[in-house]
Amino acid sequence: MKIFTDTFIFCLSTILLFSGNSINAFSYDYSATTKCLVEPQRAQYGGGIIVNPDFNSSLEGWTADRLGEVEEGVSKAGNRFIVVHNTTHPLDSLSQKVQLEKGNLYSFSAWVKISEGGETVSVVFRTTDGELVHGGKVIAEQGCWSLLKGGIVANFSSPVEIGFQTQNTKVEIWIDSVSLQPFTKKQWRSHQEQSIDKVRKSKMSFQITTTANKTAMQGAVVSIKQLKSDFPFGCGMNHNILKYTDYQTWFASRFKVTTFTNEMKWYSTEKIRGRENYTVSDAMLKFAKQHGISVRGHNIFWDDPKYQPDWVKSLSPEHLRKAAAKRINSVVSRYRGQLIAWDVVNENLHFSFFEDKLGENASSEFFSTAQKLDPNTIMFMNEYNTIEYSCDEKASAVNYREKLQEILQYPGNEGIIAGIGLQGRFGSGQPNLAYMRSSLDILGSTGLPIWLTEVNAADGPNQAQYLEEILREGYCHPAVQGIVMFSGPEIAGFKNMSLADTNWKNTPAGDVVDKLLGEWESVTMEVTADDTGFVDALLFHGDYSVTVQHPETNSSATLSFRLTKDVPQATIDVRI
């Protein structure tokens, strides 16, 4: 077997070091989630709590007493694995019982292969009362090994049985390198912080010298102030922003990116056929521009039949095609070049209103048209439950990736600037961060930008705590390039997850958001140069203003710079 390098940040990383004036480049490698290998890699974390993860001791630790046949296999390279075949039920497979401890997060992985075609293989955790908890899935292929990733959060201390599932019982499933690694919440948080330091920050060095002879200026004071964060962390906005000045002040003082919750949707801009009205969305966009707030376009179409304009629902396919063409041309042309993104088709994994009436390529055609109308704006799918719920197979990360590939491979769509929109509408229970991370890994393998687009945590006693966990998990992942919450002040109608009450006092969720806004930016700092004239600082990405002053000579200099992920390390020479 090949060696699979363990890392406690859950992401394979490569550090490339360059000398001179060049920089350190840090990159994450998701190739294991996409490559189909001739030989499987070794079990992550040595298998964690799995007994005999690589099957080098035959079936020790494993159970194969259900219907079907289980036998050992050996590759030409000498690798041992297990083959399950002749099953009659999707859950007939190899299994192992493990003990889960309440409060821990468990990262799962395994390498799987099938005898023919391409089939979905899932990992399933069976509790003592018979409940099945899906922990992840992969589309396995014939002739090569694929990585199945997932996880589970333990809300109880109890044994569970880990098994594998496929709906096609006629194929053989080959299994190897199984791993289940537990982490405490403290360990998980530590991993997040390590990842944030690598992904969201860069090391800056300032060399302070004299203008005359380039002599190092020991004792020079360097004041570093961040003017703007490079990471878009924002909040949804609705029409009430036009009515309440307090809402305007509250929003503009915190956020620099937003999504209009309903005001750009078709049912808002054309309630009556032929009578378009963009008055509200135009005014909201004007407010956003005045305050330097970037706007995501949400949405061009919504594939849920329930959320079509009433007059659209009864249209014939011919008339719907004409109405849809008018809609996309109208809204995209109106806001061309003014938005940072378009949610082209909302929730087209769960629903298929347009596909059912206009054909299976409806979403692909909409993407093609939107990109031609607004060629420099990122075009997103936007879906729920991809990171929130492992039991929703329709919206799993592998299905999402497959649908997006289908859209991008449609004739003429090869050059589309595409993005991955994940709503992040979590329930009131403990979020499964292990599953969330594995889903982000799978979608991160596309190389496309990921945004969490409608984040909230349902009302409940631990809402603020769970919101913080979700936001930290999204922020620490290198593939995530922006986060927008669907929440706001109670006076604007945000009742499920209010950030401020009717007196503009923070709710617990609001306290979390303000804390993270402060935590995810560099505080203004003053640092004194050492005897070589150097000052080092680890800074969040963004725009900065720097003032350098020497207390004895009264000489000074000011400069500004922009720090991005493309510059993980740099040195600036400052002469005063």
The whole-number pLDDT of residue 397 equals: 96
Q: Can you tell me which residue has the tokens 């109670």? A: 490
The whole-number pLDDT of residue 69 equals: 82
How many CB atoms neighbour CB 51 within 10 A? 13
What is the residue-averaged pLDDT of the chain? 92
Burial of 88 (0-12, 13-18, 19+ CB in 10 A): exposed
Q: Can you tell me which residue has the tokens 């799978």? A: 442
443: nearest Cα among 389, 520, 381: 381
pLDDT band at 31 (very low <50, low <70, confident <90, very high): low
End-to-end Cα, the chain, rounded Å: 59
The whole-number pLDDT of residue 67 equals: 60
**pLDDT higher than threshold 70 for residue 65:** no
**Per residue in 452-501, pLDDT tens?**
999 999 999 999 999 999 999 999 999 999 999 999 999 999 999 999 99
454 is catalytic: yes
Average of per-residue pLDDT across 17-41:
54
How far are the Cα atoms of 355, 356, 361, 383, 415 from residue 348, in angstroms, in the given order? 9, 11, 11, 7, 21
pLDDT band at 30 (very low <50, low <70, confident <90, very high): low
pLDDT band at 21 (very low <50, low <70, confident <90, very high): very low
Task: Report which residue type is found at 149.
Answer: K
39 is catalytic: no
**Per residue in 233-255, pLDDT tens?**
999 999 999 999 999 999 999 99
**Per residue in 250-274, pLDDT tens?**
999 999 999 999 999 999 999 999 9
- Residue 292 CA to residue 138 CA, distance in Å, equals 42
422: nearest Cα among 556, 296, 525, 241: 296
The whole-number pLDDT of residue 66 equals: 64
Task: Report which residue type is found at 402.
Answer: E
- The 8-class DSSP code of residue 262 comes to S
Q: What is the pTM of this model?
A: 0.92
Calculated CA dihedral for residues 534, 539, 541, 544, nearest 10 degrees: -60
Inter-axis angle of helices 362-373 and 317-334, nearest 10: 30
**pLDDT higher than threshold 60 for residue 214:** yes
How far are the Cα atoms of 132, 291, 464, 563 from residue 499, in angstroms, in the given order? 35, 20, 10, 30
SS3 assignment, position 467: helix
39, 263, 365, 454: which is the annotated catalytic residue?
A: 454
**Per residue in 527-545, pLDDT tens?**
999 999 999 999 999 999 9
Lowest mean pLDDT among 81-90, 151-160, 289-298: 81-90
How far are the Cα atoms of 84, 117, 238, 260 from residue 492, in angstroms, in the given order? 56, 52, 7, 13
CB 116 within 8 A of CB 157: no
119, 172, 263, 347: which is the annotated catalytic residue?
A: 347
The whole-number pLDDT of residue 93 equals: 79
Average of per-residue pLDDT across 361-367:
98
Average of per-residue pLDDT across 31-49:
88
The whole-number pLDDT of residue 10 equals: 26
**Per residue in 519-528, pLDDT tens?**
999 999 999 9
**pLDDT higher than threshold 70 for residue 13:** no
Average of per-residue pLDDT across 564-572:
89
Inter-axis angle of helices 185-199 and 463-476, nearest 10: 40
Q: What are phi and psi of 535, to 5 degrees?
A: -130, 130
Q: Quote the percentage of the chain above a pLDDT of 70.
A: 94
CA 523 to chain centroid: 26
178: nearest Cα among 116, 234, 112: 112
pLDDT band at 3 (very low <50, low <70, confident <90, very high): very low
> Which structural domains are found in the chain, ordered by start?
12-186 (2.60.120.260), 200-226+526-575 (2.60.40.10), 232-519 (3.20.20.80)
**pLDDT higher than threshold 90 for residue 2:** no
Length of the chain: 576
**Per residue in 128-161, pLDDT tens?**
998 999 999 999 999 999 999 999 999 889 999 9
**pLDDT higher than threshold 60 for residue 383:** yes
